[in-house]
Amino acid sequence: MKIAVIGAGITGMSCAWLLARQGHDVSLFEQNGTPGGHSNTVDVPGRGAHPLPVDTGFIVYNAATYPNLVALFDHLDVPTQASDMSFAVTLDRGKLEYSGTNLAGMFAQKRNLLSPTTT
């Protein structure tokens, strides 16, 4: 069957790859100059001479809820690294700051315990 897949993000590329493996005649269309969609790695200046590659789209996954992605990484021999997932916010030059790690992080600024309007 002739099949057009629109968009070369992880979804489109995975579909196109799987369909092509099943013998379909697949054309993949992408409006941007590069494939990957949100999944993109950008080099930013790091410490020392080497730039630091930062993943903007796919940062974390876990084996329990991403079995297909894990299988794809295994098949393509994509290296991954154990990590934790953290979240932190700083607003108005540090006026409001919190992190999602635990309760202490939510109230990193103790004055906010008595300031329910600071949201």
Ligand X SMILES: Cc1cc2nc3c(=O)[nH]c(=O)nc-3n(C[C@H](O)[C@H](O)[C@H](O)COP(=O)(O)OP(=O)(O)OC[C@H]3O[C@@H](n4cnc5c(N)ncnc54)[C@H](O)[C@@H]3O)c2cc1C
Measured between alpha carbons, how far is 113 from 60 in angstroms, rounded to an integer?
31
Determine which residue in the list 4, 24, 25, 29 makes contact with ligand X, applying CB under 6 A. 29
4 to each of 15, 37, 39, 89, how far by Cα in Å? Answer: 10, 17, 21, 41
Work out how close the CB of 36 gets to ligand X at its nearest, in angstroms, rounded to a whole number.
7
Instruction: Report whether 5 contacts 26 (CB < 8 A).
Output: yes
Determine which residue in the list 27, 32, 80, 115 makes contact with ligand X, applying CB under 6 A. 32
Instruction: Report whether 75 contacts 85 (CB < 8 A).
Output: no
With respect to ligand X, which residue has the nearer C-beta, 36 or 105? 36
Binders of ligand X among 53-92, rule CB under 6 A? 56-61
| Contact footprint for ligand X (CB under 6 A) | 6-12, 29-32, 37-39, 56-61
